[in-house]
Copies of this chain bind each other. A is one copy, B any other.
Amino acid sequence: MTNTNREWLLAERPDGEPDTDSFELRETDVPTPDPGELLVRIRYLSVDPYMRGRMRDVESYAEPWDVGDALKGGVVGEVVESESDAYDAGDLVTGEGKWADYATLDADDVAPVDPTIADPEAYLGVLGMPGRTAYFGLLEVGQPKPGDTVVVSGAAGAVGSVVGQIAKRNGCRVVGFAGSDEKTDWLTDDLGFDAAINYKATDDYRAALAEAAPDGVDVYFDNVGGPITDAVFTQLNLDARVAVCGQIAHYNEEGVPTGPRKLPQIIPVRARIEGLLVGDFATRFGEASEQLGRWVATGELEHCETVVEGLENAPDAFLGLFSGDNIGKQVVRVSSPDDE
């Protein structure tokens, strides 16, 4: 093990669409774990749309990243030095760590990674925060009933792809919006979606949705906002449920975005719209992990990770989220078991 470490820091807060100028790669020493901590060699790090919010200097549910500080997010890594009885060197763990080659994590804040269930990177997707978000967001906020039509935006992403599959397990008709034919093919051919709309191939989302969801929309799981969401709101059924998980279409907008007003539309159908953060279900993460792990292990739940190679390319992987480069979960591979 070398003593050289690299970590990404926030160089400046972006105004609107971020670019690589917001990021700076710094060389540091490999840190030394304190008692109770683990020194971890990062294998994979997660880039997620919600991180755009952390680039703003605004208090929110996720702590803002500070200019000059290392960026942090979900990681999977191998313990190389343990100051905790709970883990030994060689163990694979997942938790919140720096975008770095090596990082220290508090042993109390990590969870074990079981590579017999799925490849380690899946612990940043279907078996991590995105999978749990899909699980609780759909089941608790969306409340799908057999026969319901469930529409998912960002359907080929880390969260949406799991939402659609769980909805199918619950006997729903599932329609997804995604941004390429490759993605919509994946949804219908591999994940079992009943229909998928490539929104980049049409400019009439309402007509496309009316065809794909002829009985209207009972549950809408929204990851994107913008014109797709506007179209879905015109076709909500009586007592529809809308889980607002993400609004990636608006994350790079400065100021308050405007669009069609939705409140007049929801009175006739008595729709319920609810903002969703997975952290609110923290006491039940065990239940979700167990259930998702079982489905993944048996192959009943498909998953996919898009891997960008090399810590040095982490900012590009993050920026690619906003142009829809990823199918399934976007991760960055920082190291491999066979690396020296």
A266 to chain B, nearest CB (A): 4
Determine whether the beta carbon of B263 is less than 8 Å from that of A225.
yes
Residue A270 is within 8 A (CB to CB) of chain B in the complex: yes
Please give, as numbers and ranges, the residues of chain B lying within 8 Å of A247 by CB-CB distance. Answer: 261, 263-264, 267
Determine whether the beta carbon of A273 is less than 8 Å from that of B273.
yes
Determine whether the beta carbon of A275 is less than 8 Å from that of B269.
yes
Give the docked Cα–Cα distance between A263 and B276 (Å): 11
Residue A36 is within 8 A (CB to CB) of chain B in the complex: no
A220 to chain B, nearest CB (A): 11
Pick from A256, A259, A262, A275 the residue with the most CB of B within 10 Å: A275
* Total count of chain A residues near the partner, CB < 8 A: 32
Given contacts A257-B261, A263-B275, 16 further A-B contacts (CB under 8 A): A60-B268, A225-B264, A244-B266, A244-B267, A246-B267, A247-B264, A256-B261, A258-B258, A258-B259, A262-B263, A267-B277, A268-B277, A269-B275, A270-B276, A272-B272, A272-B274
| Nearest 3 interchain pairs by C-beta | A266-B275, A267-B275, A273-B273
A-B contact pairs, 29 of them (CB 8 A): A61-B268, A222-B263, A225-B261, A225-B263, A229-B263, A244-B266, A245-B267, A247-B267, A250-B261, A256-B260, A257-B261, A258-B260, A258-B261, A259-B261, A263-B273, A263-B275, A266-B273, A266-B274, A267-B276, A268-B277, A269-B275, A270-B274, A270-B276, A270-B277, A270-B280, A272-B272, A272-B274, A273-B273, A273-B274
